[in-house]
A and B are shown apart, each in its own frame.
Chain A
Amino acid sequence: MRYLKKQAESSLSYSDPSLKDRIRFRNGIYESVNVSDSEALNLIRYLGWNHESLVRDRTAHLERLRFIREQCSTDSDFAELIRNDPYNLSFITAIEVEFGNLIPN
Protein backbone atom coordinates (compact mmCIF):
# COMPACT_ATOMS: atom_id res chain seq x y z
CA MET A 1 0.00 0.00 0.00
CA ARG A 2 1.11 3.52 -0.77
CA TYR A 3 1.50 4.68 2.82
CA LEU A 4 3.71 1.76 3.71
CA LYS A 5 6.38 2.87 1.25
CA LYS A 6 7.29 5.82 3.37
CA GLN A 7 7.45 4.03 6.71
CA ALA A 8 10.81 3.21 8.19
CA GLU A 9 11.57 -0.48 8.36
CA SER A 10 11.27 -2.01 11.77
CA SER A 11 13.98 -4.13 13.32
CA LEU A 12 11.31 -6.16 15.14
CA SER A 13 10.04 -9.02 13.00
CA TYR A 14 6.39 -9.93 12.62
CA SER A 15 7.32 -13.50 13.58
CA ASP A 16 9.23 -12.52 16.70
CA PRO A 17 7.93 -14.65 19.61
CA SER A 18 8.02 -11.63 21.94
CA LEU A 19 5.52 -9.79 19.75
CA LYS A 20 2.47 -10.85 21.77
CA ASP A 21 3.96 -9.43 24.94
CA ARG A 22 5.07 -6.18 23.34
CA ILE A 23 2.11 -5.21 21.18
CA ARG A 24 -1.54 -5.22 22.20
CA PHE A 25 -4.86 -4.31 20.66
CA ARG A 26 -6.83 -1.89 22.82
CA ASN A 27 -9.73 0.46 22.13
CA GLY A 28 -9.61 -0.20 18.43
CA ILE A 29 -5.89 0.44 17.86
CA TYR A 30 -2.60 -1.38 18.23
CA GLU A 31 -0.16 0.00 20.77
CA SER A 32 3.11 -0.99 22.37
CA VAL A 33 2.78 -2.34 25.88
CA ASN A 34 5.74 -0.21 26.85
CA VAL A 35 5.26 3.35 25.57
CA SER A 36 8.99 3.70 24.93
CA ASP A 37 9.32 0.44 22.98
CA SER A 38 10.33 2.07 19.70
CA GLU A 39 10.82 -1.28 17.94
CA ALA A 40 7.23 -2.24 18.62
CA LEU A 41 5.99 1.21 17.61
CA ASN A 42 8.03 1.06 14.40
CA LEU A 43 6.60 -2.33 13.53
CA ILE A 44 3.03 -1.07 14.05
CA ARG A 45 3.83 1.92 11.87
CA TYR A 46 5.65 -0.16 9.25
CA LEU A 47 2.80 -2.63 8.91
CA GLY A 48 0.24 0.17 8.87
CA TRP A 49 -1.92 -1.44 11.55
CA ASN A 50 -3.12 1.93 12.75
CA HIS A 51 -3.45 3.56 9.38
CA GLU A 52 -6.57 5.68 9.43
CA SER A 53 -8.42 3.79 6.70
CA LEU A 54 -7.55 0.42 8.22
CA VAL A 55 -8.72 1.55 11.67
CA ARG A 56 -11.96 2.72 10.08
CA ASP A 57 -12.44 -0.63 8.28
CA ARG A 58 -11.62 -2.57 11.43
CA THR A 59 -13.89 -0.51 13.65
CA ALA A 60 -16.82 -0.86 11.27
CA HIS A 61 -16.21 -4.61 10.99
CA LEU A 62 -16.13 -5.08 14.76
CA GLU A 63 -19.32 -3.03 15.08
CA ARG A 64 -21.11 -5.34 12.66
CA LEU A 65 -19.84 -8.38 14.56
CA ARG A 66 -20.99 -6.92 17.88
CA PHE A 67 -24.45 -6.48 16.43
CA ILE A 68 -24.47 -10.08 15.16
CA ARG A 69 -23.16 -11.31 18.52
CA GLU A 70 -26.12 -9.66 20.25
CA GLN A 71 -28.50 -11.39 17.84
CA CYS A 72 -27.00 -14.87 18.27
CA SER A 73 -28.50 -16.88 21.10
CA THR A 74 -25.32 -18.90 21.77
CA ASP A 75 -21.54 -18.49 21.48
CA SER A 76 -21.36 -21.47 19.16
CA ASP A 77 -23.87 -19.92 16.74
CA PHE A 78 -21.75 -16.78 16.63
CA ALA A 79 -18.52 -18.76 16.32
CA GLU A 80 -19.93 -20.74 13.41
CA LEU A 81 -20.98 -17.57 11.61
CA ILE A 82 -17.65 -15.84 11.85
CA ARG A 83 -15.68 -19.03 11.22
CA ASN A 84 -17.40 -19.43 7.87
CA ASP A 85 -16.51 -15.89 6.83
CA PRO A 86 -12.90 -15.70 5.59
CA TYR A 87 -13.01 -11.91 5.76
CA ASN A 88 -12.63 -12.26 9.54
CA LEU A 89 -9.10 -13.57 9.10
CA SER A 90 -8.04 -10.02 8.22
CA PHE A 91 -8.93 -8.88 11.70
CA ILE A 92 -8.25 -12.06 13.65
CA THR A 93 -6.31 -10.44 16.51
CA ALA A 94 -8.88 -7.72 17.02
CA ILE A 95 -11.70 -10.30 16.96
CA GLU A 96 -9.91 -12.46 19.53
CA VAL A 97 -9.48 -9.48 21.84
CA GLU A 98 -13.10 -8.44 21.42
CA PHE A 99 -14.83 -11.83 21.45
CA GLY A 100 -12.29 -14.36 22.74
CA ASN A 101 -10.77 -17.18 20.77
CA LEU A 102 -13.79 -18.35 18.79
CA ILE A 103 -11.91 -19.39 15.69
CA PRO A 104 -9.89 -22.60 16.19
CA ASN A 105 -6.38 -22.70 14.75
Chain B
Amino acid sequence: MKITKLYIHDFQQFRDFELDFTDPKTGRPLERACLIGRNGTGKSTLLSLMSFSLQGQPQRGVQGFPACFGVKIVDHPNSSWLTALSSDKSGCHLLETSDNEFENHLHSGRATVQFSGYTSIAFPSNLPFSMKRISSRLESLDALTFCPADDPVLDTGLPSTQLNNALPLFKNFPIYHEVGGKASANFRNLLIYLIKKRESDWQEFLNLPDNSSRTVAEVQNKFDKNHPEILKFLAEKWDAILEPAGLAFDYENAKRPVQLTENLEAYVKLLSGQVLSYGALSSGIRNYLFKIGHVAAIYFGRQVRNGFLFVDEPENSLYPDFLYDLIGTYQSIIQNTQFFVATHNPIIAAQFKPEERFILDFDEEHKVTVRRGITPEGDDPNDVLEKDFAVRSLYGPAGIRSWERFLDLRHKIQTEPDAAKKKQLMTEFLSIGNNYNFALKNAVPEKAS
Protein backbone atom coordinates (compact mmCIF):
# COMPACT_ATOMS: atom_id res chain seq x y z
CA MET B 1 0.00 0.00 0.00
CA LYS B 2 1.47 3.31 -1.08
CA ILE B 3 0.43 6.93 -1.22
CA THR B 4 0.76 8.09 -4.82
CA LYS B 5 -0.90 11.50 -4.76
CA LEU B 6 -2.02 14.19 -2.42
CA TYR B 7 -4.42 17.02 -3.19
CA ILE B 8 -5.25 20.05 -1.16
CA HIS B 9 -7.66 22.75 -2.17
CA ASP B 10 -7.79 26.07 -0.32
CA PHE B 11 -6.27 25.26 3.03
CA GLN B 12 -3.87 27.56 4.83
CA GLN B 13 -1.07 28.36 2.38
CA PHE B 14 -2.21 25.72 -0.15
CA ARG B 15 -4.53 26.59 -3.02
CA ASP B 16 -4.69 23.96 -5.77
CA PHE B 17 -1.82 21.92 -4.50
CA GLU B 18 -0.78 18.50 -5.72
CA LEU B 19 2.05 16.18 -4.78
CA ASP B 20 2.72 13.27 -7.07
CA PHE B 21 4.58 10.51 -5.23
CA THR B 22 5.24 8.39 -8.30
CA ASP B 23 8.48 7.87 -10.17
CA PRO B 24 8.24 10.06 -13.30
CA LYS B 25 10.08 7.40 -15.34
CA THR B 26 8.22 4.28 -14.27
CA GLY B 27 4.96 5.64 -12.86
CA ARG B 28 5.42 3.38 -9.85
CA PRO B 29 4.86 4.69 -6.34
CA LEU B 30 7.96 6.05 -4.63
CA GLU B 31 9.25 4.00 -1.71
CA ARG B 32 10.39 7.15 0.04
CA ALA B 33 10.01 10.89 -0.31
CA CYS B 34 11.69 13.93 1.17
CA LEU B 35 9.89 17.22 1.64
CA ILE B 36 12.15 20.25 1.63
CA GLY B 37 11.17 23.87 1.93
CA ARG B 38 11.60 27.13 3.72
CA ASN B 39 9.81 27.73 7.02
CA GLY B 40 6.08 28.07 6.62
CA THR B 41 5.74 26.11 3.40
CA GLY B 42 3.83 23.39 5.24
CA LYS B 43 6.15 20.39 5.29
CA SER B 44 5.02 19.31 8.75
CA THR B 45 1.40 19.99 7.84
CA LEU B 46 1.68 17.71 4.83
CA LEU B 47 3.15 14.89 6.90
CA SER B 48 0.40 15.35 9.46
CA LEU B 49 -2.33 15.39 6.82
CA MET B 50 -1.08 12.18 5.26
CA SER B 51 -0.79 10.50 8.63
CA PHE B 52 -4.27 11.79 9.53
CA SER B 53 -5.80 10.43 6.36
CA LEU B 54 -4.42 6.99 7.19
CA GLN B 55 -5.47 6.86 10.82
CA GLY B 56 -8.52 9.08 10.95
CA GLN B 57 -7.36 11.18 13.85
CA PRO B 58 -6.19 14.78 13.87
CA GLN B 59 -2.48 15.25 14.30
CA ARG B 60 -0.72 17.80 16.40
CA GLY B 61 0.25 20.90 14.52
CA VAL B 62 -2.67 20.83 12.14
CA GLN B 63 -5.06 23.67 12.76
CA GLY B 64 -8.36 22.80 11.16
CA PHE B 65 -8.53 20.74 8.05
CA PRO B 66 -8.71 21.38 4.31
CA ALA B 67 -12.12 21.93 2.83
CA CYS B 68 -11.07 19.55 0.12
CA PHE B 69 -8.26 17.12 0.54
CA GLY B 70 -7.37 13.78 -0.95
CA VAL B 71 -4.72 11.14 -0.67
CA LYS B 72 -4.57 8.58 -3.39
CA ILE B 73 -3.58 5.14 -2.18
CA VAL B 74 -2.47 2.31 -4.41
CA ASP B 75 -2.66 -1.27 -3.27
CA HIS B 76 -1.47 -2.88 -6.45
CA PRO B 77 -1.18 -1.72 -10.04
CA ASN B 78 -4.78 -2.36 -11.03
CA SER B 79 -6.51 -1.03 -8.02
CA SER B 80 -6.39 2.44 -6.63
CA TRP B 81 -8.45 4.44 -4.21
CA LEU B 82 -8.75 8.01 -3.35
CA THR B 83 -9.36 8.97 0.21
CA ALA B 84 -11.08 12.26 0.47
CA LEU B 85 -11.86 14.36 3.41
CA SER B 86 -13.86 17.45 4.05
CA SER B 87 -14.48 19.66 6.95
CA ASP B 88 -17.47 21.85 7.44
CA LYS B 89 -19.64 22.85 10.35
CA SER B 90 -20.69 19.26 10.84
CA GLY B 91 -17.14 17.97 11.05
CA CYS B 92 -14.78 15.85 8.94
CA HIS B 93 -15.67 12.99 6.67
CA LEU B 94 -13.19 10.30 5.87
CA LEU B 95 -14.24 8.54 2.72
CA GLU B 96 -13.11 5.93 0.31
CA THR B 97 -13.85 5.63 -3.36
CA SER B 98 -12.41 4.38 -6.56
CA ASP B 99 -10.96 6.74 -9.15
CA ASN B 100 -14.01 6.26 -11.38
CA GLU B 101 -16.54 6.79 -8.63
CA PHE B 102 -14.78 9.92 -7.64
CA GLU B 103 -14.61 11.28 -11.16
CA ASN B 104 -18.25 10.41 -11.82
CA HIS B 105 -19.22 12.33 -8.78
CA LEU B 106 -17.15 15.26 -9.86
CA HIS B 107 -19.00 15.35 -13.18
CA SER B 108 -22.33 15.43 -11.44
CA GLY B 109 -22.23 19.18 -11.14
CA ARG B 110 -20.77 19.54 -7.70
CA ALA B 111 -17.35 20.39 -8.99
CA THR B 112 -15.96 23.77 -8.19
CA VAL B 113 -12.32 23.58 -9.17
CA GLN B 114 -10.71 21.84 -12.12
CA PHE B 115 -7.50 20.26 -10.99
CA SER B 116 -5.03 17.85 -12.58
CA GLY B 117 -7.52 15.59 -14.26
CA TYR B 118 -9.68 15.45 -11.20
CA THR B 119 -12.03 18.08 -10.05
CA SER B 120 -11.81 18.99 -6.44
CA ILE B 121 -14.99 19.62 -4.58
CA ALA B 122 -16.13 20.66 -1.18
CA PHE B 123 -18.03 17.66 0.12
CA PRO B 124 -21.38 18.40 1.67
CA SER B 125 -22.06 17.05 5.14
CA ASN B 126 -24.83 14.71 3.94
CA LEU B 127 -23.19 12.86 1.12
CA PRO B 128 -25.67 11.95 -1.59
CA PHE B 129 -23.55 9.21 -3.03
CA SER B 130 -22.29 5.95 -1.71
CA MET B 131 -18.82 5.86 -0.35
CA LYS B 132 -17.39 3.52 2.20
CA ARG B 133 -15.53 4.75 5.21
CA ILE B 134 -11.84 4.66 4.66
CA SER B 135 -11.24 2.42 7.67
CA SER B 136 -12.32 -0.61 5.66
CA ARG B 137 -9.79 0.23 3.01
CA LEU B 138 -7.02 0.45 5.54
CA GLU B 139 -7.58 -2.89 7.23
CA SER B 140 -4.41 -4.25 5.69
CA LEU B 141 -2.29 -1.48 7.23
CA ASP B 142 0.19 -2.95 9.74
CA ALA B 143 2.25 -0.03 10.97
CA LEU B 144 1.71 3.71 10.84
CA THR B 145 4.45 5.60 12.62
CA PHE B 146 4.73 9.33 13.07
CA CYS B 147 7.80 11.09 14.50
CA PRO B 148 6.96 14.77 15.06
CA ALA B 149 9.68 17.40 15.00
CA ASP B 150 8.52 19.58 17.83
CA ASP B 151 8.66 16.89 20.42
CA PRO B 152 10.04 18.03 23.77
CA VAL B 153 13.57 16.98 24.40
CA LEU B 154 13.71 14.00 26.69
CA ASP B 155 15.02 15.10 30.05
CA THR B 156 17.18 13.04 32.33
CA GLY B 157 14.26 11.73 34.32
CA LEU B 158 12.90 8.84 32.32
CA PRO B 159 9.18 8.28 32.61
CA SER B 160 8.45 5.21 34.65
CA THR B 161 6.18 2.46 33.47
CA GLN B 162 4.98 -0.85 34.76
CA LEU B 163 4.52 -4.34 33.45
CA ASN B 164 0.76 -3.87 33.58
CA ASN B 165 1.04 -1.08 31.04
CA ALA B 166 2.81 -3.38 28.62
CA LEU B 167 0.53 -6.41 28.94
CA PRO B 168 -2.32 -5.02 26.77
CA LEU B 169 0.07 -5.17 23.82
CA PHE B 170 -0.26 -8.97 23.89
CA LYS B 171 -3.94 -8.64 23.01
CA ASN B 172 -3.98 -5.49 20.98
CA PHE B 173 -0.85 -4.32 19.24
CA PRO B 174 -1.67 -0.86 17.86
CA ILE B 175 -1.25 0.12 14.22
CA TYR B 176 -0.57 3.78 14.94
CA HIS B 177 2.51 4.77 16.92
CA GLU B 178 3.77 8.20 17.76
CA VAL B 179 7.49 8.28 18.41
CA GLY B 180 9.40 10.87 20.43
CA GLY B 181 9.79 12.44 23.82
CA LYS B 182 6.13 12.41 24.75
CA ALA B 183 5.83 8.79 23.69
CA SER B 184 8.96 7.52 25.43
CA ALA B 185 6.83 5.61 27.95
CA ASN B 186 5.22 3.77 25.02
CA PHE B 187 8.67 2.81 23.81
CA ARG B 188 9.51 1.34 27.19
CA ASN B 189 6.18 -0.49 27.30
CA LEU B 190 7.02 -1.88 23.90
CA LEU B 191 10.43 -3.07 25.11
CA ILE B 192 8.89 -4.76 28.13
CA TYR B 193 6.29 -6.39 25.89
CA LEU B 194 8.95 -7.69 23.47
CA ILE B 195 11.06 -9.07 26.31
CA LYS B 196 8.07 -10.69 28.01
CA LYS B 197 6.83 -12.04 24.70
CA ARG B 198 10.16 -13.71 24.09
CA GLU B 199 9.96 -15.30 27.55
CA SER B 200 6.46 -16.51 26.77
CA ASP B 201 7.55 -17.81 23.35
CA TRP B 202 10.41 -19.63 25.06
CA GLN B 203 8.10 -21.44 27.45
CA GLU B 204 5.87 -22.44 24.55
CA PHE B 205 8.84 -23.58 22.49
CA LEU B 206 10.29 -25.55 25.38
CA ASN B 207 7.07 -27.54 25.73
CA LEU B 208 6.85 -28.51 22.08
CA PRO B 209 6.76 -32.32 21.69
CA ASP B 210 9.68 -32.16 19.24
CA ASN B 211 11.89 -30.78 21.97
CA SER B 212 11.14 -33.38 24.62
CA SER B 213 14.10 -35.54 23.65
CA ARG B 214 16.57 -32.62 23.50
CA THR B 215 18.58 -31.09 26.31
CA VAL B 216 17.59 -27.64 27.50
CA ALA B 217 20.83 -26.26 26.08
CA GLU B 218 20.00 -27.70 22.65
CA VAL B 219 16.50 -26.31 22.74
CA GLN B 220 17.80 -22.94 23.92
CA ASN B 221 20.28 -22.87 21.07
CA LYS B 222 17.57 -23.68 18.55
CA PHE B 223 15.24 -21.09 20.05
CA ASP B 224 17.87 -18.34 20.09
CA LYS B 225 18.57 -18.81 16.40
CA ASN B 226 15.00 -17.95 15.43
CA HIS B 227 14.08 -15.57 18.21
CA PRO B 228 16.44 -12.61 18.36
CA GLU B 229 16.52 -10.43 21.45
CA ILE B 230 15.25 -6.90 21.13
CA LEU B 231 17.98 -5.44 23.34
CA LYS B 232 20.70 -7.21 21.39
CA PHE B 233 19.18 -5.93 18.16
CA LEU B 234 18.99 -2.39 19.55
CA ALA B 235 22.57 -2.69 20.78
CA GLU B 236 23.73 -3.25 17.19
CA LYS B 237 21.76 -0.27 15.90
CA TRP B 238 22.67 2.01 18.77
CA ASP B 239 26.34 1.06 18.81
CA ALA B 240 26.62 2.16 15.19
CA ILE B 241 25.26 5.54 16.26
CA LEU B 242 27.22 5.80 19.51
CA GLU B 243 30.60 4.54 18.30
CA PRO B 244 31.76 7.86 16.76
CA ALA B 245 31.12 9.48 20.13
CA GLY B 246 33.23 6.84 21.93
CA LEU B 247 30.14 5.24 23.49
CA ALA B 248 28.46 1.87 23.39
CA PHE B 249 25.17 0.34 24.46
CA ASP B 250 25.56 -1.50 27.75
CA TYR B 251 23.84 -4.64 26.61
CA GLU B 252 25.11 -6.84 29.44
CA ASN B 253 23.73 -4.59 32.16
CA ALA B 254 20.47 -4.07 30.33
CA LYS B 255 19.95 -7.76 29.82
CA ARG B 256 17.87 -8.55 32.89
CA PRO B 257 15.11 -6.01 32.94
CA VAL B 258 11.89 -6.49 34.79
CA GLN B 259 10.48 -3.03 34.77
CA LEU B 260 13.35 -1.59 32.74
CA THR B 261 13.25 1.56 34.81
CA GLU B 262 16.61 1.11 36.47
CA ASN B 263 18.30 -0.66 33.62
CA LEU B 264 17.56 1.96 31.02
CA GLU B 265 19.75 4.34 32.96
CA ALA B 266 22.66 1.96 32.54
CA TYR B 267 22.14 1.39 28.87
CA VAL B 268 25.01 3.45 27.64
CA LYS B 269 28.65 3.19 28.59
CA LEU B 270 31.92 4.60 27.41
CA LEU B 271 33.88 2.27 25.15
CA SER B 272 36.45 2.26 27.94
CA GLY B 273 33.85 0.50 30.10
CA GLN B 274 32.67 3.27 32.42
CA VAL B 275 28.89 3.34 32.64
CA LEU B 276 27.24 6.67 31.94
CA SER B 277 23.91 7.81 33.16
CA TYR B 278 21.45 8.27 30.37
CA GLY B 279 21.17 11.93 31.32
CA ALA B 280 24.85 12.47 30.57
CA LEU B 281 24.18 12.06 26.87
CA SER B 282 23.44 15.11 24.76
CA SER B 283 19.76 15.75 24.16
CA GLY B 284 20.23 15.27 20.41
CA ILE B 285 21.76 11.81 20.76
CA ARG B 286 19.20 10.84 23.41
CA ASN B 287 16.31 11.71 21.15
CA TYR B 288 17.91 10.07 18.13
CA LEU B 289 18.57 6.84 20.03
CA PHE B 290 15.03 6.73 21.33
CA LYS B 291 13.48 7.48 17.95
CA ILE B 292 15.54 4.81 16.19
CA GLY B 293 14.99 2.41 19.08
CA HIS B 294 11.25 3.01 19.16
CA VAL B 295 10.80 2.57 15.39
CA ALA B 296 13.00 -0.54 15.48
CA ALA B 297 10.89 -1.98 18.31
CA ILE B 298 7.67 -1.35 16.36
CA TYR B 299 9.00 -3.46 13.49
CA PHE B 300 10.91 -6.00 15.57
CA GLY B 301 9.85 -9.61 15.10
CA ARG B 302 6.85 -8.67 12.95
CA GLN B 303 6.11 -9.15 9.28
CA VAL B 304 4.95 -5.68 8.32
CA ARG B 305 3.40 -5.91 4.86
CA ASN B 306 1.99 -2.40 4.61
CA GLY B 307 3.60 0.34 6.61
CA PHE B 308 4.01 4.09 6.57
CA LEU B 309 6.70 6.03 8.41
CA PHE B 310 6.59 9.84 8.70
CA VAL B 311 9.62 11.55 10.22
CA ASP B 312 9.61 15.30 10.67
CA GLU B 313 13.04 16.98 10.87
CA PRO B 314 15.13 13.93 11.82
CA GLU B 315 18.19 16.17 11.93
CA ASN B 316 17.12 18.05 15.07
CA SER B 317 19.97 18.67 17.51
CA LEU B 318 22.32 16.26 15.77
CA TYR B 319 25.90 17.03 14.75
CA PRO B 320 26.29 16.72 10.95
CA ASP B 321 28.48 13.64 11.24
CA PHE B 322 25.48 11.71 12.56
CA LEU B 323 23.35 12.72 9.60
CA TYR B 324 25.24 11.08 6.73
CA ASP B 325 23.85 7.60 7.43
CA LEU B 326 20.61 8.66 9.06
CA ILE B 327 18.21 7.72 6.27
CA GLY B 328 19.96 4.39 5.79
CA THR B 329 19.67 3.74 9.52
CA TYR B 330 15.90 4.27 9.43
CA GLN B 331 15.61 2.13 6.32
CA SER B 332 17.56 -0.68 7.94
CA ILE B 333 14.89 -1.11 10.63
CA ILE B 334 11.72 -0.90 8.52
CA GLN B 335 10.28 -3.12 5.81
CA ASN B 336 7.51 -2.78 3.19
CA THR B 337 7.05 0.76 4.38
CA GLN B 338 6.64 3.99 2.49
CA PHE B 339 8.98 6.44 4.18
CA PHE B 340 8.33 10.21 4.27
CA VAL B 341 10.75 12.75 5.67
CA ALA B 342 10.51 16.52 6.05
CA THR B 343 13.81 18.30 6.49
CA HIS B 344 15.72 21.57 6.32
CA ASN B 345 19.01 19.77 6.09
CA PRO B 346 20.92 19.28 2.81
CA ILE B 347 22.87 16.30 4.18
CA ILE B 348 19.57 14.50 4.78
CA ALA B 349 18.11 15.64 1.46
CA ALA B 350 21.21 14.44 -0.42
CA GLN B 351 20.43 10.87 0.67
CA PHE B 352 17.35 10.88 -1.56
CA LYS B 353 17.13 10.59 -5.34
CA PRO B 354 16.20 13.84 -7.12
CA GLU B 355 12.76 12.49 -8.03
CA GLU B 356 12.21 11.66 -4.35
CA ARG B 357 12.89 15.26 -3.30
CA PHE B 358 9.95 17.67 -3.23
CA ILE B 359 10.96 21.28 -2.83
CA LEU B 360 8.19 23.51 -1.53
CA ASP B 361 8.29 27.24 -2.11
CA PHE B 362 6.00 30.24 -2.24
CA ASP B 363 4.67 31.83 -5.42
CA GLU B 364 4.03 35.55 -5.81
CA GLU B 365 0.70 35.23 -4.02
CA HIS B 366 2.38 33.42 -1.12
CA LYS B 367 0.78 30.11 -2.07
CA VAL B 368 2.85 26.96 -1.93
CA THR B 369 4.32 25.48 -5.10
CA VAL B 370 6.35 22.33 -5.52
CA ARG B 371 9.11 21.09 -7.78
CA ARG B 372 11.32 18.00 -7.76
CA GLY B 373 15.03 17.94 -6.99
CA ILE B 374 17.87 18.24 -9.46
CA THR B 375 21.09 17.06 -7.87
CA PRO B 376 21.82 13.31 -7.89
CA GLU B 377 21.60 11.07 -4.84
CA GLY B 378 24.68 11.33 -2.65
CA ASP B 379 25.76 14.65 -4.11
CA ASP B 380 27.75 17.23 -2.17
CA PRO B 381 25.25 18.80 0.28
CA ASN B 382 26.55 22.21 -0.79
CA ASP B 383 25.34 21.46 -4.33
CA VAL B 384 22.00 20.36 -2.90
CA LEU B 385 21.83 23.66 -1.01
CA GLU B 386 22.55 25.72 -4.10
CA LYS B 387 20.55 23.82 -6.70
CA ASP B 388 17.67 22.20 -4.80
CA PHE B 389 17.27 24.46 -1.78
CA ALA B 390 18.07 27.45 -4.06
CA VAL B 391 20.22 29.09 -1.39
CA ARG B 392 21.74 32.06 -3.15
CA SER B 393 25.18 32.05 -1.54
CA LEU B 394 26.85 29.68 0.87
CA TYR B 395 29.20 32.42 2.12
CA GLY B 396 28.36 34.71 4.99
CA PRO B 397 28.77 38.51 4.75
CA ALA B 398 32.47 38.35 5.72
CA GLY B 399 33.08 35.67 3.08
CA ILE B 400 31.33 37.71 0.41
CA ARG B 401 33.45 40.76 1.30
CA SER B 402 36.59 38.59 1.10
CA TRP B 403 35.55 37.25 -2.32
CA GLU B 404 35.12 40.79 -3.58
CA ARG B 405 38.55 41.71 -2.17
CA PHE B 406 40.01 38.59 -3.83
CA LEU B 407 38.67 39.71 -7.21
CA ASP B 408 39.91 43.24 -6.61
CA LEU B 409 43.40 41.97 -5.75
CA ARG B 410 43.46 39.79 -8.82
CA HIS B 411 42.82 42.85 -10.94
CA LYS B 412 45.29 45.10 -9.08
CA ILE B 413 48.11 42.53 -9.21
CA GLN B 414 47.99 42.61 -12.99
CA THR B 415 48.20 46.40 -13.19
CA GLU B 416 50.46 47.36 -10.26
CA PRO B 417 53.79 48.74 -11.60
CA ASP B 418 55.58 48.93 -8.24
CA ALA B 419 57.31 45.58 -7.47
CA ALA B 420 57.13 45.90 -3.69
CA LYS B 421 53.45 46.83 -3.70
CA LYS B 422 52.74 44.06 -6.16
CA LYS B 423 54.39 41.56 -3.84
CA GLN B 424 52.20 42.75 -0.97
CA LEU B 425 49.11 42.36 -3.10
CA MET B 426 50.13 38.85 -4.15
CA THR B 427 50.75 37.84 -0.52
CA GLU B 428 47.29 39.09 0.47
CA PHE B 429 45.77 37.38 -2.59
CA LEU B 430 47.29 34.04 -1.60
CA SER B 431 46.30 34.49 2.02
CA ILE B 432 42.65 35.19 1.25
CA GLY B 433 42.57 32.51 -1.44
CA ASN B 434 43.99 29.93 0.95
CA ASN B 435 41.69 30.86 3.81
CA TYR B 436 38.54 30.56 1.76
CA ASN B 437 39.88 28.26 -0.96
CA PHE B 438 38.52 30.60 -3.59
CA ALA B 439 38.72 29.12 -7.09
CA LEU B 440 39.97 31.34 -9.88
CA LYS B 441 37.76 29.54 -12.37
CA ASN B 442 34.85 31.21 -10.58
CA ALA B 443 36.41 34.59 -11.29
CA VAL B 444 36.55 34.61 -15.07
CA PRO B 445 36.89 38.23 -16.15
CA GLU B 446 34.05 39.76 -18.06
CA LYS B 447 34.52 39.65 -21.78
CA ALA B 448 34.99 42.99 -23.50
CA SER B 449 31.79 43.91 -25.26
A-side interface residues toward B, CB under 8 Å?
2, 52-53, 56-57, 59-61, 63-65, 67-68, 71-73, 77, 81-82, 84-85, 87
What CA separation (Å) do A50 and B437 show in the bound complex? 17
Indicate whether B434 reaches chain A with its CB closer than 8 angstroms.
yes
The 9 closest A-B pairs by CB, nearest first: A60-B439, A87-B434, A64-B433, A63-B440, A71-B413, A68-B426, A60-B437, A57-B437, A85-B430
Interface residue from B321, B434, B441 paired with A85 (Cβ < 8 Å): B434
Interface residue from A64, A77, A81 paired with B440 (Cβ < 8 Å): A64
Residue in B closest to A59 when the chains form the complex, CB atoms? B439
Indicate whether B410 reaches chain A with its CB closer than 8 angstroms.
yes
What CA separation (Å) do A82 and B380 show in the bound complex? 31
Determine chain A's interface SS by DSSP, over half rule: helix
Write out, one digit per residue, whether chain B residues 408-449 have a CB within 8 A of any chain A CB (1) or not (0): 001001100001001100110111011001111100000000
Assess whether B430 is in contact with A64, with CB atoms less than 8 Å apart. Answer: yes
Using a Cβ–Cβ cut-off of 8 Å, how many residues does chain B contribute to the interface with A?
21
Residue in A closest to B243 when the chains form the complex, CB atoms? A5
Do A63 and B426 contact each other (CB < 8 Å), given the known contacts A52-B380, A71-B414?
no
Chosen A-B contacts, 8 in total, with CB atoms closer than 8 Å, are: A52-B380, A53-B380, A64-B440, A67-B410, A68-B413, A82-B430, A84-B427, A85-B434
Indicate whether B324 reaches chain A with its CB closer than 8 angstroms.
yes
Contacts of B410 in A (CB 8 A): 67
Contacts of B431 in A (CB 8 A): 85
Determine chain B's interface SS by DSSP, over half rule: helix
Assess whether A61 is in contact with B426, with CB atoms less than 8 Å apart. Answer: no
Assess whether B437 is in contact with A61, with CB atoms less than 8 Å apart. Answer: yes
Contacts of A53 in B (CB 8 A): 380
Contacts of A64 in B (CB 8 A): 429-430, 433-434, 438, 440
What CA separation (Å) do A19 and B296 show in the bound complex? 48
Shortest Cβ distance from residue A48 to the other chain B in the assembled complex, whole angstroms? 15
What CA separation (Å) do A68 and B438 show in the bound complex? 14
What CA separation (Å) do A9 and B390 show in the bound complex? 39
Residue in A closest to B438 when the chains form the complex, CB atoms? A60
Beyond A60-B433, A73-B419, 19 additional contacts (C-beta under 8 Å) are: A2-B321, A2-B324, A56-B437, A59-B439, A60-B438, A60-B439, A60-B440, A60-B441, A61-B437, A64-B434, A64-B440, A67-B440, A68-B413, A68-B429, A71-B414, A81-B423, A81-B426, A85-B434, A87-B434
Shortest Cβ distance from residue A82 to the other chain B in the assembled complex, whole angstroms? 8
Residue in B closest to A80 when the chains form the complex, CB atoms? B423
What CA separation (Å) do A87 and B441 show in the bound complex? 20
Contacts of A56 in B (CB 8 A): 437, 439
What CA separation (Å) do A96 and B429 show in the bound complex? 21
